[in-house]
């Protein structure tokens, strides 16, 4: 539900406070993420000592467990002796104490808390153990990062007691949304229990309360089901895995290595118990009716064609083989869900419902008869009928289903909660129909997307989701009425793992964007401020360092801006966010260090150069924050005007002389940057401005045959002095059948020195994609990033 309880006057005062540069250092004392709803800074600090005591009312076992864990963490990380004592509610706290006081207060709700910190006493108030737990997470973030040590699993005892101080303040806090989730796909790549627990630790620190565990898909069934052992004997194991991105290679390349893994039911119980100590609910997802290949591999009779042989998918995508909506399938799914519900005590069961092709149902005589018998309009209504039947079963067990927004197709099941991922439209429509909604649109919440420049990022799905964009999201759509807005339960970040094979990469893709979404989910909208969030990130990164989290430093990446100069050079400007005071660079191929040249003004390049850049902060020795590099091309064509002989496509048009601006193209995931594409031939006439010696041309063609972008079959070069009469130089044969890994192929065309002002380059398309490639017979395209004249 949408909650914003802070008083208007206080909100206005706080906004004025954070916008005043004179008090930014004061705010740096309180680097809490997500930002509390109300925070009153005070002078002074509470200092932990050996003998600091946590006071907990008697007969409050959950509260005592929270206090015990906190005291143990402080003691082990600092070397101090911090104790917990149960007391009568009327007991008067002594000096240097932390008292936990349960209260009855509708303002705080089930998850809110108050925190009052003076130099002598810390008072924590909440109505439930969950509220106290979140208060403790805030305390952790107000303390030095050293208190987090190496994580709750292995924290070394300090050799000497550390000084542990908590800045004085008063906080009243409560979340904006009741659902604050993170998702993890363990089907495409499997993650062990230890990683799941660590993820839960990090979620708890940021006040997430829901872990969405994507346990089954086409590539692997990851949860033990006692009644159907072949699900894990067969369905959990694929014979090999695609190498690289889906479109990296043509033909696709596989590693030849068997891949598998699953969680036993005892391991699931262990994770559920652990999550409960972090006040995190787990939503298990069992995909249906699509994304079912792993299950069909184990039990092919659940398909619409039991005579076929199925196997877990070895690559990514959407597959046509889905569950058949017959009684055998429903008996199977009900058995599976019964075992799943016995393992997961939470309110929700996620049943998928997304990306279910209807081909198998259209071809199935049984399905067509079922559509007629039930009076359904088509296969979309058959899916709705399928979901409704599962919904009734789950509802009768006292639970509720969640489904991806495709469950709206054909009519949504009456009790279903909709998870809106294909943008916001599905969530808005579901809220208008008075269905509960969890917003998770890919543009803001898909953590498998790239975080910055595709040329600098490790492999991801595609699309670009910078930290600032994730932070900017508002889950409550303005076009909904206040009554409809009540159905927006919250927001969730999703980590799909097609291109995330291990914990290191999972960390990189998740953090710090998950921290941004934590603030989206918790903090009142009027208090969100990206600049303030950015300042708090510095302390946040130190915490993540202490927890050995391989977070992304893209936040610090300097950005390149390049333009050609009138005299044919490339001017390269560098910029970074306000928290990067020092940029160093090299032009000779060496790795930049704190001793490299300091960036002061735009760089003028008179030859093709790889510019390598590093961001630093702090006094010497400088602390390196990030490093990036980019190639720039300088030739006689740089900055020169040209005209196209054939119009570029509308998909990748020419925006501002892209072919001679000195910037090379980039790729990442499905993303291609700084290229111009052509549906057939490519031709350009470059005006060098005056007659001068020329002896060669080089053109950067994009070889991306999985997307039908082929090299040309030949390139024709001609020159002219007046731009009207051209004399042919040569025709160069090329290899349009070259496939393999996608890349920019810079084809050189050298010829005897001549003098000319105009250079004409025509590249002839192969026409149709050659037979050796993934899409033979399709119309071939060409794409170019830069043209050089030497």
Catalytic residue numbers? 355
Query: What DSSP assignment string belongs to 637-676?
Result: TTT--EEESSPPPSSS---SSGGGSSBPPEEETTEEES-E
**Residue 236: left (phi > 0), alpha (psi -120 to 50), or beta?**
alpha
Residue ranges in 300-424 assigned as alpha helix (H):
327-343, 359-363, 365-373, 379-396
Distance CA 123, CA 99 (A): 5
Q: How many CB atoms lie within 10 A of CB 129?
A: 19
Of 285, 282, 302, 284, nearest in space to 293 by CA: 302
- Is the Cβ–Cβ distance between 250 and 774 less than 8 Å? yes
Distance spanning both ends of the chain, measured CA to CA: 64
Name residue, tokens 């998909």.
Answer: 651
Name residue, tokens 């002598």.
Answer: 120
Of 364, 250, 256, nearest in space to 303 by CA: 364
- Is the Cβ–Cβ distance between 474 and 523 less than 8 Å? no
Distance CA 562, CA 657 (A): 12
Distance CA 327, CA 321 (A): 18
- Is the Cβ–Cβ distance between 334 and 399 less than 8 Å? no
Distance CA 705, CA 774 (A): 7
Q: How many CB atoms lie within 10 A of CB 365?
A: 8
Query: Which residues lie below 8 Å from residue 358, measured CB to CB, with a gap of 6+?
Result: 379, 380, 382, 383
CA-only gyration radius of the chain, Å = 30
Q: Which long-range contacts (CB under 8 A, 24 or more apart) does 61-65 make?
A: 62/129, 63/100, 63/102, 63/129, 63/132, 65/277
Which three-class secondary structure string do you get for 65-115? Answer: HHHHHHHHHHHHHHCCCCEEEEECCCCCCCCCEEEEEECCCCCCCCCCEEE
Report which DSSP code applies to 24: H
């Amino acid at each position: 539900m949408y909650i914003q309880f802070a008083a208007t006057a206080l909100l206005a005062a706080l906004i004025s406070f954070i916008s005043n540069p004179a008090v930014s250092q004061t705010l740096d004392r309180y680097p809490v993420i997500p930002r509390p709803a109300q925070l009153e800074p005070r002078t002074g600090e509470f200092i932990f000592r050996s003998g600091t005591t946590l006071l907990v009312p008697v007969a409050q076992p959950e509260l005592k467990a929270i206090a015990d864990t906190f005291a143990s963490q402080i003691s082990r990380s600092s070397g101090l002796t911090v104790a917990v004592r149960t007391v009568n509610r009327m007991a008067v706290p002594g000096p240097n104490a932390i008292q936990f006081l349960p209260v009855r207060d509708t303002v705080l709700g089930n998850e809110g808390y108050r925190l009052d910190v003076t130099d002598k006493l810390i008072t924590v108030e909440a109505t439930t153990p969950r509220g106290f737990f979140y208060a403790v997470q805030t305390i952790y973030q107000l303390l030095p990062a050293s208190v987090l040590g190496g994580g709750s699993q292995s924290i070394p005892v300090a050799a000497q007691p550390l000084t542990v101080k908590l800045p004085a303040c008063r906080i009243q806090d409560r979340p904006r949304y009741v659902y604050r989730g993170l998702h993890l796909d363990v089907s495409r790549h499997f993650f062990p229990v230890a990683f799941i627990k660590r993820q839960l630790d990090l979620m708890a620190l940021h006040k997430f309360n829901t872990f969405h565990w994507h346990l089954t898909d086409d590539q692997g069934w990851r949860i033990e089901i006692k009644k159907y052992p072949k699900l894990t004997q067969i369905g959990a194991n694929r014979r090999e895995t695609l190498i690289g991105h889906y479109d990296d290679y043509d033909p696709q390349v596989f590693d030849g290595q068997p891949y598998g893994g699953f969680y036993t039911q005892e391991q699931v119980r262990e994770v559920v118990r652990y999550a409960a100590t972090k006040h995190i609910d787990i939503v298990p997802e069992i995909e249906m009716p699509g994304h079912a290949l792993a299950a069909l591999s184990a039990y092919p009779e659940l398909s619409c064609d039991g005579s076929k042989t199925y196997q877990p998918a070895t690559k990514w995508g959407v597959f046509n083989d889905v569950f058949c909506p017959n009684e055998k399938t429903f008996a199977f799914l009900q058995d599976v869900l019964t075992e799943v519900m016995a393992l997961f005590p939470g309110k929700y069961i996620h049943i998928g419902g997304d990306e279910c092709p209807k081909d198998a149902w259209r071809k199935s005589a049984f399905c067509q008869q079922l559509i007629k018998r039930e009076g359904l309009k088509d296969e979309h209504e058959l899916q709705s009928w399928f979901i409704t039947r599962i919904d009734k079963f789950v509802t009768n067990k006292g639970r509720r289903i969640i489904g991806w927004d495709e469950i709206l197709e054909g009519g949504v099941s009456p009790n279903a909660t909709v998870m809106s991922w294909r943008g916001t439209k599905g969530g808005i429509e579901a809220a208008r129909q008075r269905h509960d909604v969890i917003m998770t649109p890919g543009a803001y919440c898909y953590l498998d997307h790239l975080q910055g420049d595709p040329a600098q990022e490790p492999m991801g799905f595609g699309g670009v989701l910078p930290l600032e964009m994730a932070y900017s999201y508002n889950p409550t759509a303005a076009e909904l009425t206040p009554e409809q807005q009540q159905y927006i339960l919250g927001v969730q970040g999703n980590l799909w793992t097609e291109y995330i094979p291990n914990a290191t990469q999972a960390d990189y893709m998740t953090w710090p964007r998950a921290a941004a979404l934590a603030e989206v989910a918790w903090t009142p909208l009027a208090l969100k401020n990206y600049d303030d969030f950015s300042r708090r990130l510095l302390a946040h990164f130190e915490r993540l360092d202490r927890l050995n989290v391989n977070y992304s430093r893209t936040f610090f990446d300097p950005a390149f801006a390049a333009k050609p100069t009138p005299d044919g050079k490339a001017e390269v400007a560098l910029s970074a966010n306000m928290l990067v005071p020092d940029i160093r660079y090299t032009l000779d191929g060496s790795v930049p260090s704190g001793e490299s040249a300091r960036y002061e003004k735009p760089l003028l390049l008179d030859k093709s150069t790889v510019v390598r850049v590093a961001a630093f902060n702090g006094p010497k020795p400088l602390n390196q924050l990030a490093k990036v590099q980019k190639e720039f091309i300088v030739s006689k064509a740089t900055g020169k005007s040209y005209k196209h002989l054939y119009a570029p496509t509308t998909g990748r048009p020419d925006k501002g002389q892209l072919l001679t601006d000195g910037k090379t193209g980039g790729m990442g995931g499905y993303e291609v940057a700084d290229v111009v594409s052509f549906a057939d031939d490519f031709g350009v006439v470059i005006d060098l401005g005056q007659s001068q010696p020329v002896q060669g041309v080089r053109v950067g063609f994009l070889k991306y045959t999985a997307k039908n972008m082929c090299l040309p079959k030949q390139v024709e070069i001609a020159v002219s002095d007046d731009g009207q009469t051209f004399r042919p130089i040569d025709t160069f044969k090329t290899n349009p059948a070259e496939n393999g890994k996608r890349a920019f192929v810079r084809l050189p065309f050298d010829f005897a020195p001549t003098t000319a002002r105009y250079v004409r380059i025509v590249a002839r398309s192969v026409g149709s994609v050659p037979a050796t490639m993934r899409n033979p017979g399709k119309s071939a395209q060409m794409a170019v990033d830069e043209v050089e004249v030497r």
